[in-house]
Amino acid sequence: MANRFDIHIQTLPQAEQKNTFKFMSFGFNSTVGVKGFQMLINCWLKCFLTTRGSDPADLAYGTDFPNLMGSSIPLNDARDVVFLSIEQCNAKILEFQRNDVTLTESERLATAKLIDFIPDPSAPGFQAYVEIQNQAKERLTLNLPSLSEL
């Protein structure tokens, strides 16, 4: 059986994110095939940043996180939306992975959780930190919504 790869979704530089209101691209650098932990991170982020109900083939795919962009929701409620969006994303990724026997431990989600939420009323906005862990015990902490790694 041939090795499976996914397309690497690359995060845009923060300055470009602010100018274009986009988080990701298929490549400001050359497109790269990925597998392992990076494949899991890409799948998780794609689901997390997709508006729930926007995929006509699977209306349950995605989360409510993108609805926060440009909303006037209070920051206390935004934390709850982020927390619930992480739970929605985890459930969907685990559902996909349950039926795929070809995934390695580094490509399987163990958990993703909100580890810190810092309101910034002056922006108005927030900094949210999510830790993603795979079944091989690798961890990555992301800063949402910039998607920068810590």
> Is 89 inside any structural domain?
yes
Half-sphere exposure of 114 (CA within 13 A, CB side): 22
> Is 30 inside any structural domain?
yes
The residue with tokens 């998780």 is 44
> Is 41 inside any structural domain?
yes
* 98, pLDDT greater than 90: yes
For the stretch 1-26, pLDDT in tens is: 345 555 556 666 667 666 665 655 55
CA 95 – CA 105 distance, rounded (Å): 16
pTM of the model: 0.78
For the stretch 110-150, pLDDT in tens is: 999 999 999 887 777 888 999 999 999 999 998 886 655 55
> Is 40 inside any structural domain?
yes
Range of the domain at 73: 6-109
> Is 93 inside any structural domain?
yes
**What is the number of domains present in the chain?**
1
> Is 115 inside any structural domain?
no
User: How confident is the model at residue 130, as a pLDDT?
Assistant: 95
